[in-house]
Amino acid sequence: MSQNLQLSPEDTERLIDATFEAQKRAYCPYSKFRVGAALIAEDGTLLSGCNVENASYGLSICAERTTLVKAVSEGHRKFKALAVICDMDENAKPCGACRQFMIEFGKYEVLLLKPDRSYRLTTSYDLLPDAFIPSHLEEPNHTH
């Protein structure tokens, strides 16, 4: 575990617990690959989500995006941290689409969990270097 985590030990445990609980709710009848995610919004609200598969594979949604969509739909736009766990014996690894989706909401800590509750600490920005971010769409940065 990292000494640089900005969350309190209590919030870190709360976040990790919620991530593992979310993983249990995954709907993955096709891949059998359970993923859970949870985040703590800037105001301390804890939200979680899981992957939800669909027979039309392209319509499936990852746990990270489920969690962020849930947060945004409940009025949250700024986050302290997001954690993710999956069915691998190594640290979870968000897909490229999730990394792009995560960075939309700025820089915050990301805990890439292992089944033993250890994690690798990174940030939403570090997961996707040279990302396309909202400020790139501001008037001075693009031509018509």
Integer Cα distance of 78 and 74 in angstroms? 12
| Active-site entry in 10, 13, 21, 64 | 64
Active site residue 64: yes
- What size, in residues, is the chain? 144
Is the distance from CB of 32 to CB of 57 less than 8 angstroms? no
Is the distance from CB of 39 to CB of 79 less than 8 angstroms? yes
Indicate the helix (H) or strand (E) that contains 49. strand 46-50
Integer Cα distance of 32 and 109 in angstroms? 28
Q: Which residues pair with 39 in a beta bridge?
A: 47, 82
Q: Mind telling me the catalytic residues?
A: 64
